[in-house]
């Protein structure tokens, strides 16, 4: 009986413990809210792949972290302050994202970065075109680029000292090239360009200018290959043997032979590249067809091409193809 009375009064006893949630004066414990920003970074170009080593700056507290091998990153225990995330990597365009918290405690970001275009190679070469009067000269530019996100609008070759700023036309999807007469650059002499450094510049679709590569002219081949036969309109068989004097310029090179119709607006009817430097003759492997070509009058030229693609073309040697 005594126990029952005690139990009755104990149930209705005042809640005096300040930690008792049923105490009228109960003060709930203060719990700090934890805020975080996390995300993932991938390439914009398909197939999207993770980018590691991206520096991410959280402007709200000037904190910097780096994305891991999976492209993931996370800022923990940040202040609930609106700001920006800045993304930086040497191979990708810098970018940013606005961060606005609202009622969120955790913000997740998925970011895709554009790849900065790059160069596989840049070749600058000279061409010497011999004739029966004076030779003419050209400077050529060839490059192959990587443009995974298709951002390149134009490709420019530039030299400040020579006041050269020329657009190079696209030849294939990722190759650009052109050769220019000396007067088109403009230069007083091809010698003015020797030893000068040319810059390859990409202009992207945001009008940014990126200096992608630099190169110099390595050589001007002034020595000319001298042919011996056939010349001066000599009549030959439909599979003539072309002959020239041994050429010893003192550097590695190869030959290129071309045969054209001898008329206004010559038409190329035969070409053979990669003839070794030790040869002094070459027999055409297939017959020249006068009926198909509409003429029996032809000329041939021989090029010396070095390891840097510098070129020297011989004068024209004429011949006639008999039946």
Say yes or no: 97 and 124 in one domain.
no
% pLDDT > 90, the chain: 87
DSSP 277: T
Residue 13 lies in a domain: no
pLDDT at 302 over 70: yes
Q: Give me the mean pLDDT over the 251-267 stretch.
A: 97
Q: What is the pLDDT of residue 30?
A: 53
pTM: 0.77
Is there a single domain that holds both residue 236 and residue 172? Answer: no
Output the CA–CA distances (angstroms, integers) from residue 251 to 127, 248, 279, 304, 306, in the order listed.
Answer: 16, 8, 15, 11, 7
Residue 21 lies in a domain: no
Q: Are residues 71 and 154 in the same domain?
A: no
**pLDDT per position as a tens digit, 148-172:** 999 999 999 999 999 999 999 999 9
Q: Is the pLDDT of residue 241 over 80?
A: yes
Is 24 inside any structural domain?
no
| Residues 178-196: tens digit of each pLDDT | 999 999 998 999 999 988 9
Q: Are residues 206 and 266 in the same domain?
A: no
88: its two tokens: 């930086």
Is the same domain home to 126 and 68? no
* Per-residue pLDDT, 186: 83
- Mean pLDDT (the chain, rounded): 92
Report which DSSP code applies to 7. Answer: H
Q: Which residue has the tokens 């010559």?
A: 266
Tens-place pLDDT, residues 70-95:
999 999 999 999 999 999 999 999 99
Identify the helix (H) or strand (E) that includes residue 54: none
Pairing mode, strands 317-321 and 234-236: parallel
Report how many helices (DSSP H) and strands (DSSP E) the chain contains, helices first: 2, 23
Mean pLDDT value across residues 49-61: 97
Q: What is the pLDDT of residue 20?
A: 63
Residue 75 resides in a domain: yes
What is the average pLDDT across 248-272? 97
Q: Do 131 and 209 share a domain, yes or no?
A: yes
**Is there a domain that residue 3 lies in?**
no
Last residue of a domain, one of 66, 90, 113: 113
Task: Please report whether residue 5 resides in a domain.
Answer: no
Please state whether the peptide bond connecting residue 77 to the residue before it is cis, i.e. omega within 30 degrees of 0: no
Domain boundaries, position 285: 227-321
Mean pLDDT of 278-284: 98
Calculate what percentage of the chain has a pLDDT beyond 70.
Answer: 90
Give a yes or no: residue 147 inside a domain. Answer: yes
């Amino acid at each position: 009986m005594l126990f029952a009375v005690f139990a009755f009064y104990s149930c209705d006893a005042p809640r005096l413990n300040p930690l008792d949630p049923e105490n009228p004066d109960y003060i709930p414990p203060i719990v700090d809210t934890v805020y975080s920003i996390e995300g993932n970074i991938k390439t914009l170009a398909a197939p999207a792949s993770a980018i590691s080593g991206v520096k991410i700056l959280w402007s709200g507290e000037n904190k910097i972290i780096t994305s891991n091998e999976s492209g993931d990153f996370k800022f923990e225990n940040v202040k609930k302050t609106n700001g920006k995330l800045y993304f930086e990597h040497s191979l990708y365009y810098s970018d940013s994202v606005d961060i606005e918290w609202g009622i969120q405690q955790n913000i997740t970001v998925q970011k895709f970065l554009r790849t900065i275009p790059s160069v596989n190679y840049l070749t600058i070469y000279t061409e010497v075109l011999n004739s029966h009067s004076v030779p003419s000269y050209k400077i050529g530019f060839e490059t192959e680029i990587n443009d995974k996100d298709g951002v390149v609008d134009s490709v420019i070759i530039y030299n400040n000292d020579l006041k050269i700023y020329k657009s190079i036309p696209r030849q294939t999807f990722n190759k650009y090239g052109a050769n220019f007469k000396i007067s088109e650059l403009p230069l007083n002499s091809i010698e003015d360009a020797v030893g000068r450094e040319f810059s390859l510049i990409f202009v992207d679709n945001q009008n940014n200018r990126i200096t992608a590569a630099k190169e110099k002219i390595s050589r001007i081949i002034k020595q000319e290959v001298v042919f011996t036969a056939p010349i001066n309109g000599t009549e030959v068989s439909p599979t003539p043997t072309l002959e020239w004097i041994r050429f010893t310029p003192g550097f590695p090179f190869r030959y290129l032979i071309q045969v054209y119709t001898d008329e206004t607006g010559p038409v190329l009817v035969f070409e053979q590249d990669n003839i070794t430097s030790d040869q002094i003759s070459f027999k055409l492997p297939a017959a020249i067809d006068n009926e198909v070509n509409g003429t029996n009058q032809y000329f041939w030229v021989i090029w010396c091409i070095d390891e840097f693609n510098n070129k020297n073309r011989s004068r024209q040697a004429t011949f006639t193809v008999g039946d």
